[in-house]
Amino acid sequence: MCGRFAITLPSDAMAQLFAAQPANDLPQMPDYNVCPTNAVHAVQAGDSGRQLVSMRWGFLPDWYKSESAGPLLINARAETLAQKPAFAAACRERRCLIPATGFYEWTKAGDGARLPWYIHRSNAAPMAFAAVWQSWGADDPIKTCAIVTTAANETLLSLHHRMPLVLEPQDWGRWLGENGHGAARLMQPGAAGILDFHRVDPAVNSNRASGPELIELFENGDIPRGRLI
Q: What is the value of pTM for the model shown?
A: 0.94
Res 229: pLDDT: 39
With residue 77 as reference, give the H or E element that holds it.
strand 75-77
Query: Quick count: other Cβ atoms within 10 Å of Cβ 207?
Result: 14
With residue 12 as reference, give the H or E element that holds it.
helix 11-17
Number of domains in the chain: 1
Res 28: pLDDT: 96
Res 225: pLDDT: 43
With residue 17 as reference, give the H or E element that holds it.
helix 11-17
Pairing of strands 75-77, 162-164: unpaired
Measured CA to CA, the distance from residue 79 to residue 57 in angstroms comes to: 20
| Contact residues for 47 (Cβ-Cβ < 8 A; gap 6+) | none
Q: Of 159, 171, 64, 71, which Cα lies nearest the Cα of 115?
A: 159
Per-residue pLDDT tens digits for 109-132: 888 889 999 999 999 999 999 999
Q: CA angle, 160 as apex, 154 and 162 as ends, to 5°?
A: 80
Q: Are 6 and 33 in contact (CB under 8 A)?
A: yes
Find the domain containing 221 and state its range: 5-228
Q: Of 169, 134, 165, 12, which Cα lies nearest the Cα of 63?
A: 134
Q: Of 10, 55, 53, which Cα lies nearest the Cα of 146?
A: 55
The CATH number of the domain holding residue 31 is 3.90.1680.10
Res 227: pLDDT: 38
Res 139: pLDDT: 85
| Bond from prior residue into 61 cis (ω within 30 degrees of 0) | no
| Contact residues for 229 (Cβ-Cβ < 8 A; gap 6+) | 106, 107, 108, 114, 160
Measured CA to CA, the distance from residue 181 to residue 185 in angstroms comes to: 9
Mean pLDDT by 10 residues, the chain (229 residues): 94 98 97 98 95 98 95 97 97 97 94 93 96 94 97 92 96 94 89 90 95 90 44
Pairing of strands 20-22, 50-57: parallel
DSSP string, 114-130: EEEEEEEETT---EEEE
Secondary structure of residue 170 in the 3-state scheme: helix
Secondary structure of residue 164 in the 3-state scheme: strand
Secondary structure of residue 195 in the 3-state scheme: strand
